[in-house]
Amino acid sequence: MTQSLPLLNGTEEYSLVTTKALYDDTVKFYERYFQLVHDKEIGTLTNSLVTIKLVVDDSFKPLDIAEDKDWRAIVSSSLVFSCTDIQYFKNLAGKQTVQAYPNETNPLEVYLKDPNGYVVGITETKNAISIKPTLPKQSVESSLISSRSSRVDISSASVTTGSSYPAIPKTVNTQKSIAVMTSGGDAPGMNANVRAIVRTTIFKGCNAFVVMEGYEGLVKGGPEYIKQVCWETVRNWSCEGGTNIGTARSKEFRERPGRLLGALHLIEAGVDALIVCGGDGSLTGADLFRSEWPSLIKELLETGKISNAQFDRYQHLNICGTVGSIDNDMSTTDATIGAYSALDRICQAIDYIEATANSHSRAFVVEVMGRNCGWLALMAGIATSADYILIPEKPASSREWQDQMCDIISKHRSRGKRTTIVIVAEGAISNDLTPITSKDVHKVLVDRLSLDCRITTLGHVQRGGTAVAYDRILATLQGVEAVNAVLESTADTPSPLIAINENKITRKPLVESVQLTKSVADAIHSKDFKKAMALRDSEFVEHLGNFMAINSADHIEPKLPKETHLKIAIVNVGAPAGGMNSAVYSMATYCMSQGHKPYAIYNGWTGLTRHESVRSLNWKDLLGWQSRGGSEIGTNRNTPEEADIGLIAYYFQKYGFDGVIIVGGFEAFVSLHQLERARENYTAFRIPMVLIPATLSNNVPGTEYSLGSDTALNSLMQYCDVIKQSAASTRGRVFVVDVQGGNSGYLATHAAIAVGAQVSYVPEEGISLEQLTQDIENLKESFDKAEGRGRFGQLILKSSNASKVLTPEVLADVITQEADGHYDAKCAIPGHVQQGCLPSPIDRTRGTRLAIRAVGFIEAQQKVMEQARTIDDDDFEFDAPEIVNTASVLGVKGSNIVFTSIRQLYDFETELSRRVPKTIHWESSRAIADHLVGRKKL
Residues making up the binding site: 185, 249-250, 279-282, 325-327, 362, 369-371, 426, 454, 460-463, 637, 695-699, 733, 740-742, 826, 832-835, 915
User: Helix or strand or coil: residue 556?
Assistant: coil
114, 327, 329, 930: the active-site residue: 327
Annotated binding site for substrate: 325-327, 362, 369-371, 426, 454, 460-463
In eight-state DSSP terms, residue 324 is B
Question: Edge-to-edge strand order for the sheet containing 44-46?
Answer: 2-6, 12-18, 50-56, 44-46, 37-39
Burial pattern 65-80, b for ≥16 Cβ within 10 A else e, equals eeeeeebbeebeebbb
Q: Name residue 448's amino acid.
A: R
Closest CA to 312 of 278, 281, 267: 267
Binding site feature residues for ATP: 185, 249-250, 279-282
Return the CA Rg of the chain: 31
Annotated binding site for Mg(2+): 280
User: Is-contact 394 533, C-beta < 8 A?
Assistant: yes
Write the CB contacts of 927 (distance below 8 Å, at least 6 apart in sequence).
155, 156, 158, 159, 166, 168
Dihedral sign, CA of 753, 755, 758, 759?
negative
Q: Does 522 qualify as catalytic in the annotation?
A: no
Spell out the residues 6+ positions from residue 294 whose beta carbon is closer than 8 angstroms to its own. Answer: 315
N- to C-terminal Cα separation, the chain? 22
Length of the chain: 938
214 phi-psi bin (left φ>0, alpha ψ -120 to 50, beta other): left
2 Rama class: left (phi>0) / alpha (psi -120 to 50) / beta:
beta
CA–chain centroid gap for 832, Å, is 22
Measured between alpha carbons, how far is residue 294 from residues 300, 311, 316, 820 in Å? 10, 10, 7, 58
Task: Judge whether 749 and 926 are in contact, CB under 8 Å.
Answer: yes
Burial class (CB in 10 A: 0-12, 13-18, 19+), 821: exposed
Which run of H or of E encompasses 824? strand 824-828
Q: What is the dihedral of CA 578, 582, 583, 589, to 10 degrees?
A: 170
700-712 burial string, b = 16+ CB within 10 Å, else e? bbbbbbbbbbbbb
Which sign, positive or negative, has the C-alpha torsion 357, 363, 368, 374? positive
* H runs (alpha helix) in 43-174: 86-93
Say how many C-beta atoms besides its own lie within 10 A of residue 925's C-beta. Answer: 22
CA distance 179 to 402: 50
> Omega before 166 cis (within 30°)?
yes
Q: How many angstroms separate the CA atoms of 789 and 672, rounded?
A: 54
Ramachandran area for residue 172 (φ above 0: left; ψ -120 to 50: alpha; else beta)? beta
Contact (CB, 8 A) for 49 and 150: no
Burial tier of 136 (Cβ tally within 10 Å: 0-12, 13-18, 19+): exposed
Report the DSSP pairing between strands 44-46 and 37-39. antiparallel
List all residues 6 or more positions away from 856 whose beta carbon is below 8 Å from its beta carbon: none
Laid out side by side, the sheet with 388-390 consists of 388-390, 420-425, 363-368, 453-457
- Rounded distance between C-alpha atoms, residue 878 and residue 871, angstroms: 11
Distance CA(120)–CA(129), nearest Å, equals 16
Q: Which residues are catalytic?
A: 327
